[in-house]
Structure formats: C-alpha cells, structure tokens
Chains A and B, each alone.
Chain A
Amino acid sequence: MVGRDAIVAEIPRLRRYARALTGDAGRADDLVQDALERALSKWLLWRHGSDLRAWLFTIMHNIFVNQVRMSQLIEFRADEDIPDPLTRATQGDGLALRDLDRALAELPLEQREVLLLVGLEELSYLETAQVLGVPLGTVMSRLSRARVRLGKLLEGQAGGASFGASLKVVK
C-alpha cells in the first residue's frame, strides 16, 4: 500500500520539473496543485504496483499540454511582444537562470518536455515515452533535436559572459 509519505516525497520533483517547464515559480506550483488534485479524482485508475512517480508526471503532462492548448486559443501575442532572446540584463544573480529559462522557452513544448524528463528528472527513455504517451523512437528524435537546439540557443546567448561564467561552476 502506498502511504502518504510516498506521495509527499514526489512533490519536490514535480515542482522542480514544473518550474523548469513553465519558467515561473508561481505557475509551476499552480500546475503541481492541479496535478495533485487531478490525481485525487483519478485514484482508481492508478494501478497498484505501477510507478507512482511516472503516473503523477503523466497527469501533470496532460494538464499542462491542455493548458497550453487553451491559452493558445485565447492569448495572442504579436511578434514584437515576444521577448528577444538576445536582449537581457547584463548582470544580476539570476542571470544564468534567466538565460536558461529563456532558452528553454524557445524550445517547442514537446522537445522541452523530453529534454527535462531525461536530463533533469533522469527518467529512462522508456519511462519518458510512457509519461508522454509517445513511442520510444519519438522520444529519441525529440531529445536529439532538443539538445541541438538548446546548444545553439545557449551559444547565441554566450555572446555575453554569463553562460561561460555559469559553465565554470559545472563540473
């Protein structure tokens, strides 16, 4: 029997993924809360013994994709309102964070999800395929495209010193 501790233990990882996915802490917690509430209403569909984490990620993925789809229907942004990825503050503590957020936001959602589930949440490729409901081959091709694209986006930003500076901290 899964105890409450098992569910509570998943919340930090759900929040981390949501934070990276949405680019905004408040929106991330909204998403986590939505996912937990949805989980509450769908308990019977969770098969005991299956992976609780993957199940929660799947629920959150479905909610987020729906939200994005809805917001695309009602929210229209003219091109000039979209922040230019090359213009950014030149100093400040959150510099690397903003750069990475901006680069991630530039990735198509489907690529961003795969990149984060694999690279940040360290799900296996098969688990990622399960969470997103796509074949394994699709996961691999999205991962490949996401990594190439993120590399280019970060390179583009490295015109300034911030990416180089943040790299030095990385082992």
Chain B
Amino acid sequence: MKPQPIVEEELHGLADGRIKAPRRGEVDAWLAVHPQEADQVKAWRTQNALLHQTFDSVLETPLPARLLDSPRRPGRSRFICQLIDQFSTRRFAAAVTWLALGGIIGFVLRGEAPQLAGTGTLPYQAALAHAVYSPEVRHPVEVGADQEAHLVAWLSKRLGATLKAPHLDEAGYSLLGGRLLPGAGNNGAVAQFMYQDARGARLTLYVRNDAGAANTRETAFRFAREGKISVFYWLDGRFGYALSGETEKPELLRIATIVYRQLNP
C-alpha cells in the first residue's frame, strides 16, 4: 500500500509527541529526506522546551498567601475549603434530584419496561434519556450542531469508536447537537444526538458502543413503546442504536430506515 502523504498537522503532532508508531516511523523517514521540514519540527520542539524552561518554575513556587489564608489547614486556602464544602453539598443535592427524577420517570413508565432478551436495556435507557433531555428548552445538547465536527470527534473519543451523526434533513429534522451520557456502553459512555423538525418536535438517536460484548451482531429493527415515547432500536456490529420520539410508528420507522441507510452506505 502506498504510504499516506504527510500533512502539516502531523508535523505539529510529531513536535508535540502525539504521533504514535507505526505512523511515527513513516513521518520520521519522510523528514530524513526533507531537511527543511525537519528543521521546522526541531524549531517547534525548541519553542515548547523554551516555554517549559521559562515557566515551569511557577509550578514550584509556593501558592501565594491570598490562596493560602487558612493557617489551620496548611496548604489549602479558605475558599478552596469553601469550594469543596459547597461542592459536596450541591453534588449531593444533584444526586438526590436525579434519583427522584429517575423514580418519577420509572413510575410514569411503569409496567412498560421491556422484557427483551439479548438487547439488554437499550430501548429503555434510550427512552429515559429522551424523556430527560428532549423537553430541555435552553440546554437540549452539550455541543451544538454548529460545532458538528468537534461534537462527533469528541463523542467518538469518549465512546472509543468512530461515530457518525446521521443527517435527517430529508425527513424534515435537522441536527441540534449531542451530548455524552453515562450508560452501559464501553467506557460507560453513550452518545445522544438530538434532532428537531420545523414544529419543534424532537427525536433522539442513542448510540452505544457494544464492542467487546460476547457476540456483536446485527438485528432487525425492533420496536418498543415507553409511555408516549416510541423507540426503534437495532444492533449493528459493534454498536447498539435506538431512535426515540413521540412520533407515530410508521413515521419513526421511515426515519430509522434513513438513519440505518446513512450509517451503512
């Protein structure tokens, strides 16, 4: 196979120690016959070293008195302690809120929890996430569609697999953005993409990385209904997908088909 051409980003990556073998060897070999670029990388490394040489001493400087104003707790400032206290209290309050919310949603969805062999709790978790985030007015997503490349790169990194955000414009839904959720996927991370149509109706696509599960495989579309929320879900190789919305079943199926087609061109 023909080696891939070296791009400038990789030269920066090399200077910053971010290029891993075996690509690193290829870049080094290329630089061996491109002395001008090699000098450039060397100069960038020198800049980094100069920054460290100049500013690393700050790390060793004792924290100033105004950050360290509590003699009873040497090494910690009063407002740091205050920070921690407040942190703990508010975290606890937040945890209680989430537990209560989970309970309420569980109650609302009671009796409808799926008993679905093989797919674990995928549709249930997806519907839960849809119920929590889709009514959000101000913060429906963490990263908006205006930063789609960043969003996809970030979620891919956290899920440990390359993701794609399908575009559902042909169905009248545009991408709002997405967020990272805790869940049963690899690394405990799950991605949620959110879409909205002209009337403000929202769909969410829940993506879980199942790689490493006993047998990753494909399934047909399956349908579940959790309260008012309809969910089409399927397994496709290393991923589990669930498309949720308060949408009629035929319409949701049509959109799920579009999603599937885009993910498997």
Contact = CB atoms under 8 A, between A and B. Distances in A.
Interface of A: 1-4, 7-8, 11-13, 15-16, 19-20, 25, 28-29, 32-33, 36-37, 39-40, 43-44, 47-50, 96-97, 100, 115-116, 118-120, 122, 124-126, 129-130, 133-137, 140, 143-144, 147, 150-151, 154, 166-167, 169-171
Nearest to A37: B79
Given A11-B63, A33-B67, A125-B18, A48 B51 contact: no
B21 interface: no
Interface string B55-84: 110110101101100000001100111111
Contacts of A96: 50, 53-54
Nearest to A137: B149
B101 to A, nearest CB: 14
A170 B149 CA distance: 37
Contacts of B61: 15
A29 B59 contact: no
Given A40-B83, A44-B90, A143-B12, A20 B149 contact: no
B47 to A, nearest CB: 6
B86 interface: yes
A20 B55 contact: yes
Q: Is the interface of B mostly helix, strand, loop or mixed?
A: helix
A11 B48 CA distance: 21
B32 interface: no
B42 to A, nearest CB: 11
B53 A170 contact: yes
Given A15-B63, A136-B153, 13 more contacts: A12-B63, A15-B58, A15-B61, A16-B56, A29-B64, A43-B87, A43-B91, A44-B94, A50-B180, A115-B51, A124-B18, A126-B157, A170-B46
Q: Is the interface of A mostly helix, strand, loop or mixed?
A: helix
A35 to B, nearest CB: 11
Contacts of A167: 46, 50
B43 interface: yes
Interface in B1-35: 8-9, 12-13, 16, 18
B147 interface: yes
B52 interface: yes
Contacts of B94: 44
Closest 4 CB pairs of A and B: A16-B58, A119-B48, A120-B51, A4-B84
B58 A12 contact: yes
A130 B129 CA distance: 24
21 contacts: A2-B87, A4-B84, A11-B63, A12-B59, A12-B63, A15-B61, A16-B56, A33-B67, A36-B79, A40-B83, A47-B180, A115-B51, A119-B44, A119-B47, A119-B48, A122-B16, A136-B149, A143-B12, A144-B12, A154-B50, A170-B50
B139 to A, nearest CB: 9
B49 interface: yes
A100 B79 contact: no
B86 A166 contact: no
A20 B51 contact: yes
A24 to B, nearest CB: 12
Contact of A16 (B55, B75, B84, B154): B55
B154 A36 contact: no
Interface in B131-184: 147, 149-150, 153-154, 157, 180, 182
A4 B67 contact: no
A169 B90 CA distance: 49
Contacts of A151: 43, 47
A118 B48 CA distance: 9
A136 B54 contact: no
A108 B113 CA distance: 56
Given A33-B66, A126-B157, A116 B8 contact: no
Contact of A170 (B49, B84, B91): B49
